[in-house]
Structure 1
Amino acid sequence: MRNHLLLLPALVLTQQLQAQHTETKDSSRQLNGVVIYQAGKNTPVTYQNLDMTSIREKNTGQEPSFLLTATPAVTNYSDAGNQQGYSYYRIRGIDQTRINTTLDGMPLNEPEDQGAYFSNYPDLFTSLSAVQIQRGTGTSKNGAASYAGSVQLFSPDLKDPQSTTFGLGYGSYNSFRAFAEHKSGVKNNKAFYARASQIYTDGYKDHAFNNSQSAFVSGAIFLPKSTWKVNLMAGHQQNGMAWLPVADTLIAKNRKTNANTKAEKDEFLQSLLQVQHQWQPNNHSILNSSVYYTYLNGGYGMDVNNYYGEASDGNLFHYNFRSHFAGIFSNYTLYNDHFSWTTGIHANLYTRRHLGKDDALGELYRNRGNKNEASASTRLEYRLQRFTFFGDLQYRYVTFDYIGSVGLPQVNWQFLNPRGGIDFAANDHLSFYYSIGKTSREPTRNDMFAGNDDLPIDSSAGKPIINKDPESVIDQELGLKIKCEKFALQLNGYYMNFHNEIVLNGQIGPNGLLLTNNVNSSYRTGVELSATYQLSKSFTLTNNSAYNHSVIKEDKTTFKPVLTPSLIINQEVAYHHRQWVLAVTGRYQSSAYIDFANTAQLDGYFLLNARAQYSLQRYTFSVFVNNVTNAHYYNNGATDGRGNVSYFVQAPANFYAAVKYSF
């Protein structure tokens, strides 16, 4: 799915309570034991709080999808082949248009095509204070459906102590990153944060460069019973396009071959504004409210002749977009020692102009998509001795209007998403949980229009080509959690039963977006493991693995969904001693099909990455070596209508070195 069409919304306003870290050193944000937006310690859903210390050690300004793959059941690939520029991730084999993404509770999924991508906000993870990944339907979220799961991001913790950091890095393929970050700490009940970053790479593949800049500014006022916070974020990026897979015959001659022409480029500017307010009228209630706005402007050029396999004449077709996205939400939480009850409302308005221009013919079309949403949810967690009972109910109402040369009546969807579960704490170290939830989801604009940016007329029927049927999933999660002084483990099994699932068919549409089909019956089931063992004072072992068994049933035949490997194993060995951090990570990913008919597949592969870090007074020096064994592998591909197979090549052995100065 193309990054620049499924754009991560940018000027946004949100709310989040800037709270303290939990006692268990995870990334949950709480106030007096009340978890805001996230799943808490006893919430019976499958989730993982990322270790932000480890994230900061690994972070080189790369696309966040490379950091997310260290968690169970997450796969990714990169257009350019290296870790900067457009990249994409999937949870349990399900693409990111079906993964809810929020920042401080604010939806980041672009409403029309529902994708949330990080390329328009490069180096975003440098500014985050916490990340929680929920797999499965999880808890109710604002915005796009939490279908495969959710990725919840949290802005800088302005209560961090004062510091200033400068960073500089350089690596393979002329990749470099420079950033500056300042935290004021709380002074006179006020706090301020600012970061600016510049990232560049030539890309592993030919003419697949990325040149991007971003800034994040945050400020807050802390009053006796309330907090006001404002976040401003902006990003600008330019890329040499590399979204076409490459035929294996061309790869055999030159692995850096780019199937897109050198003239195909994009440029996007996106900005985000969030305004948040948190009010605590007493010791048993909190009201969190937020407004947000996002602005996007940009586009990309496409060589149509090249796309259809014909000789290029240098003429480009340009897809241009401009969007506005504004919304508001508010949550009221009532709590005591035994229960937490949160009820919230959310509404947003979205409009995006689509403009198609040809170098030779000029403007060929313009249309507009308007998509609006309103939702309400209520969630209760009740603790009774060693049991925690969980119930969650969400109602979503969504409308879509298309204004173009072809008339289309307004499309409406209504969804009722119930969830429930139970957690049992056997003792202070061991707990079990079970949950079941249903989530329904409307198709994307691309799904409805079969990959067309401008709605065509079906000559045979005289009606627009459209598929407006929603898809739904019933997700069951069963798991156990163990937490001891030196050992922590979460093991869960899941069974996701889909109705009318919208799945990739392995082909790419005329606008560069991946095409889909509906299937009547399908399911995904598997086992996921996340474990950490403190082998000694200096050595830590971390394992994040997943086994997936997925089946689609259609026309009395069964087959597996595309890009869904059955086995993923991540194993890291880390050494921390005084000023040194040394780590080696191995990743095995089994084979996966890349076409609907299961006739073409990607081979399984093994990657070995290593990193070293040394701290000297105010300086931190880091060296990263990726793909140490120089493995030649693909982790995505496609087939065309004639059955030809092509692939996305990923980079061989490469390095990156960085230095940070903090005071």
Structure 2
Amino acid sequence: MKNLLVLGGAVLALPLLAPRAAWAQGPVAGTITDARTGTALPGATVLLDGAVVGVTDASGMFALPAVPAGSHELRITFLGYDALRQPVQGQPTEQRLALGLRSGGILTGEALVTASRANDRTATAYTNVSREDLAKRNFGQDIPYLLDQTPSVVVTSDAGAGVGYTDIRIRGTSNTGINMTINGVPLNDAESHGSFLVNLPDLASSISSLQVQRGVGTSQNGGAAFGASINISTMENRTEAYGETQNSFGSFNTWKNTVQFGTGLLGQHFTIDGRLSRIATDGYLNRASSDLKSYYLSAGYQAKNTLLKFITFSGREKTYQAWNGVPEPLITGDRKLLQQFIDNGELSEADAARGLQEGRRYSYYTYDNQTDNYQQNHYQLHLSQGLGQDWNVGAALHLTRGFGYYESYRARRKFADYNLQNVVIGGDTLTRTNLIDQKWLDNYFYGGTFALNYQPRNNDKLQATLGGAWNQFVNDHYGEVIWAQYASNGNIRHRYYFNDARKTDFNAYARATWQVLPQLGVYGDLQVRRIKYGIDGLEAQNRDVTTHERYLFVNPKAGATFTLAEGQQLYASYARGQREPVRSDFTDRPAGQPRAQAERLNDFEGGYRLTRANSTLLGPQTTLRLEANYFYMQYRNQLVATGRLDSVGNALRTNVDRSYRTGLELTGFASMNDKLSLSSTLTLSRNRIQGFREVIYDANYLPVTAAEARTTTISYSPSVVSAHTLEGQPLKGLRLALLYKTVSEQFLDNTASAAKRIAPYQVLDFRVRYSIRPVFVKEIELGLLVNNVLNRKYVANGYTYGYPGADGNPQIFNFYFPQATRNFLASVGVKF
């Protein structure tokens, strides 16, 4: 802590070292819009005297905290628009500009991305996140942690500090129900529906914009959005040459090193951009290390009506397994409960003794290579082509190559489960052995996407998109024994199971917005999705997992917006989403149980938006944005955990007839003179399963379904989530921020039992960034992020299961993922 205070003091003292001329500098702020329609242009690049100094936010606004005295040139560029040059004169008082860009120049490269983005016409709840917004918090933690302040979001980290395996839930929906795309290309795993961002470390450094849609949202490629979608774009073309490096160091021996470069526009047509990153940490939990490497490279050709761009990015991760979590008694110190874990075989005497020493940082595994190893390579070829004055088309071919394994030490495993013969030594027959195995995935995901856009330049009343995609996923699953204490009849890399899976996914959609009246706009969308999925072969323990399924989904969407007055809007929408079961719903299904059915979601959204510049309430040179959004998400056949486990302890799911999520999301943002800003979000929700029947176990360890159905709370669904960011600029170039997060009580399963819950928690973070512009480089920025300032001991995730005790009463075994106590990350960034 002493070192932390010294470092913080050093950062705060840096303004005293700035040149005295800086005190004569003055701020310049403004709004960038389409000169014809007045629509804000988020993501426009702002240059001062040829140097990139920022991009516009979701409202098209920018702010330069310090422009030196004298004459300067401000230049604004945005793909699809002619560059604008504006002379400015540095002066002590703040200057406010309102600038409009005229359509022209080169064609935008985001035709595919735009086709999947929501806007004020689509009557849905969404949040735009700019490159600057991500950069403020990007000290090396994963993308979920960079989105922690967006509405209805809850994040967690297996290793406890936001590096390695992390997860995000939006409106209580895990990432298996969150559709993620990168440049319009699906990211979700085709079988598990999850998006494993650990495979793409530091992707945030290459993101030009990001949009989080809540609910079903707009039609797009990939798996259905069952709670939200995250649309990522890396398609920005930076017309000026640049070089950047970002380096961070922090608690738990955490390091991040990033180098980026761009050529700018070469010969008026070509651009090349690249990035190399490495992130490493020991983790908060013991033996929860991560070693992550990634690269990003893009090369583009652009002309007035054509943009062709090749993008490749890759990530390789090696993480020590922290998936088991920490047994509850090692967190609470309950010796009686610990003995129950020992008696039931959940912990050995030796593990329990070690756990008492390690406490909440306990890690179950001790084998030195108990690691997850995976590499994912992405290749994308994008074409955007103008077709006359009012039409453009975006198309992409893509290939994702993934391969890797996780390695585990297994004690006293049956030979028969690994297709090995029992071993006879003398007169003894051995049926078990210690061994090390590797479980492999080897897959290809490839296909094509397109979007044909009608965007008339002379009449913006009607806009339409026709789009779709064809994608195929091929995946081999197999396991190998690489060492055994008693090898039996096996050889090195003895393969004990193999199955292959193939999934073909085709979808097409048509969408249009029509401004019927100056105040009234309507929106319509229809998506058709066809899926063919098959598995052939055996899973571990010689289980036949052969599966062949087909699905056809028709998903309509409609909405309307009504403008009450300038800057005020009402909206309402309906959307249907449907999705197929995940792989484990087929492979882990007990014999004799009905097959899992597809899930359906009917999503009703309605809300009010207010945007004010130079608000009379707050005074001149201010911005005010408010939004209230109500949602009612009605599920049919939602797949939920029942409490039953398969033969290896995995939770089994079953369809429940009816369930719902409903609530109110409140968001607000206010800024004054770029000196002080406050953003807040608050979600109040009710999440229920109707007619739920729990599965419990009798004295013979046989599953028994509860006879009486009841209404209960959906697991991992807090009823209250809030996030608040207060940011100020007390001195030029120095920005301080407090970030406060609250999450109410959550339950580990669907029983709503007080004995199986995650306690409510509150977390306060502190961030400081200080930038200077010396003559020898464009910018130097120093930063400090202190996480969990109040040093709270809390958990953000967990799981549970139980068995009957000797007296017939159920015994509950809870496992949690403790999050790090107070910790810090410090950074140094240089822009050339």
- Shared fold by TM > 0.5? yes
Query: What are the residue-to-residue correspondences of 1:614-625 with 2, within 5 Å?
Result: 614-617=770-773, 618-625=779-786
What's the secondary structure of 1:81's corresponding residue?
coil
Distance of 1:330 and 1:417 partners within structure 2: 19
The answer to whether the 8 Å contact 1:165/1:182 transfers is: yes
The aligned residue for residue 442 of structure 1 is 580
Distance of 1:88 and 1:201 partners within structure 2: 18
| Correspondence 1:288 to 2:391 | no
Q: Out of 749, 759, 771, which is 1:595 matched to?
A: 749
The aligned residue for residue 372 of structure 2 is 266
What's the secondary structure of 1:119's corresponding residue?
helix
For structure 2, the 5+ residue unaligned runs are 1-39, 45-55, 61-77, 81-102, 334-355, 415-431, 485-489, 539-543, 614-622, 694-708, 774-778, 804-811
The aligned residue for residue 191 of structure 1 is 271
| Correspondence 1:416 to 2:554 | yes
Distance of 1:507 and 1:97 partners within structure 2: 20
| Correspondence 1:490 to 2:490 | no
What's the secondary structure of 1:496's corresponding residue?
strand
Distance of 2:576 and 2:437 partners within structure 1: 42
The answer to whether the 8 Å contact 2:383/2:395 transfers is: yes
How many Å apart are 1:510 and its aligned residue? 6.9
The aligned residue for residue 639 of structure 1 is 800
Q: Out of 325, 328, 333, which is 1:245 matched to?
A: 325
The aligned residue for residue 532 of structure 1 is 669
| Correspondence 1:467 to 2:588 | no
How many Å apart are 1:167 and its aligned residue? 1.5
Distance 1:208 1:512, change over 3 A: farther
What's the secondary structure of 1:612's corresponding residue?
strand
Show structure 1 runs of 4+ deviating over 6 A: 27-30, 506-513
Distance 1:278 1:400, change over 3 A: same
The answer to whether the 8 Å contact 2:326/2:360 transfers is: no
The answer to whether the 8 Å contact 2:41/2:58 transfers is: no
How many Å apart are 1:637 and its aligned residue? 1.3
Distance of 2:658 and 2:533 partners within structure 1: 26
Query: What are the residue-to-residue correspondences of 1:500-519 with 2, within 5 Å?
Result: 500-505=637-642, 515-519=652-656
| Correspondence 1:101 to 2:180 | yes
What's the secondary structure of 1:404's corresponding residue?
strand
The aligned residue for residue 563 of structure 1 is 716
The aligned residue for residue 507 of structure 2 is 375
Distance of 2:545 and 2:767 partners within structure 1: 56
Distance 1:55 1:215, change over 3 A: same
What's the secondary structure of 1:94's corresponding residue?
coil
The aligned residue for residue 427 of structure 1 is 565
How many Å apart are 1:511 and its aligned residue? 7.3
The aligned residue for residue 351 of structure 1 is 474
The answer to whether the 8 Å contact 2:530/2:553 transfers is: yes
How many Å apart are 1:113 and its aligned residue? 1.1
| Correspondence 1:39 to 2:145 | no
The aligned residue for residue 532 of structure 2 is 399
Q: Whose helix fraction is larger, Structure 1's or Structure 2's?
A: 2
Distance of 1:381 and 1:280 partners within structure 2: 20
What's the secondary structure of 2:473's corresponding residue?
strand
Q: Out of 761, 764, 767, which is 1:611 matched to?
A: 767
How many Å apart are 1:517 and its aligned residue? 3.0
| Correspondence 1:84 to 2:160 | no
The answer to whether the 8 Å contact 1:89/1:95 transfers is: yes
The answer to whether the 8 Å contact 1:158/1:219 transfers is: no
How many Å apart are 1:313 and its aligned residue? 7.5
Q: Which amino acid aligns with 2:533?
A: F
Which shows bigger deviation, 330-339 or 650-659? 330-339
Distance 1:515 1:206, change over 3 A: farther
| Correspondence 1:629 to 2:790 | yes
The aligned residue for residue 331 of structure 1 is 451
Q: Which amino acid aligns with 1:625?
A: V
TM-score (norm 2): 0.73
Which shows bigger deviation, 580-589 or 501-510? 501-510
Q: Which has the higher contact order (CA 8 A, sep 6+)?
A: 1
Distance of 1:630 and 1:284 partners within structure 2: 56
Which shows bigger deviation, 98-107 or 243-252? 243-252
Distance of 1:518 and 1:307 partners within structure 2: 33
CA-to-aligned-CA distance 1:197-230 (integer Å, 9 cap, x gap): 0100000001100001000001110022111011
CA-to-aligned-CA distance 1:161-218 (integer Å, 9 cap, x gap): 3210011111000000101001222222111110000100000001100001000001
Distance of 1:234 and 1:402 partners within structure 2: 27
For structure 1, the 5+ residue unaligned runs are 1-18, 452-456
Distance 1:558 1:305, change over 3 A: farther
Distance of 2:142 and 2:126 partners within structure 1: 21
Query: What are the residue-to-residue correspondences of 1:168-207 with 2, within 5 Å?
Result: 168-188=247-267, 189-207=269-287
How many Å apart are 1:448 and its aligned residue? 1.9
Distance of 1:307 and 1:283 partners within structure 2: 68
The answer to whether the 8 Å contact 2:326/2:361 transfers is: no
Distance 1:521 1:185, change over 3 A: same
Query: What are the residue-to-residue correspondences of 1:15-94 with 2, within 5 Å?
Result: 21=42, 25-26=57-58, 35-94=114-173
Q: Out of 295, 301, 321, which is 2:407 matched to?
A: 301
Distance of 1:200 and 1:258 partners within structure 2: 18
CA-to-aligned-CA distance 1:594-620 (integer Å, 9 cap, x gap): 122222111111111001111122210
Q: State how many pairs are aligned.
A: 632
Distance 1:507 1:194, change over 3 A: farther
TM-score (norm 1): 0.91
What's the secondary structure of 1:413's corresponding residue?
strand
Distance of 1:407 and 1:551 partners within structure 2: 32
The aligned residue for residue 11 of structure 1 is none
Larger radius of gyration: 2
The answer to whether the 8 Å contact 2:793/2:821 transfers is: yes
The aligned residue for residue 417 of structure 2 is none
The answer to whether the 8 Å contact 2:596/2:654 transfers is: no
How many Å apart are 1:410 and its aligned residue? 2.3
Which shows bigger deviation, 533-542 or 116-125? 533-542
Distance 1:588 1:444, change over 3 A: same
How many Å apart are 1:302 and its aligned residue? 3.2
Distance of 1:63 and 1:261 partners within structure 2: 26
The aligned residue for residue 454 of structure 1 is none
How many Å apart are 1:500 and its aligned residue? 0.5
| Correspondence 1:581 to 2:714 | no
CA-to-aligned-CA distance 1:59-100 (integer Å, 9 cap, x gap): 112111111221111111111011111001111111111111
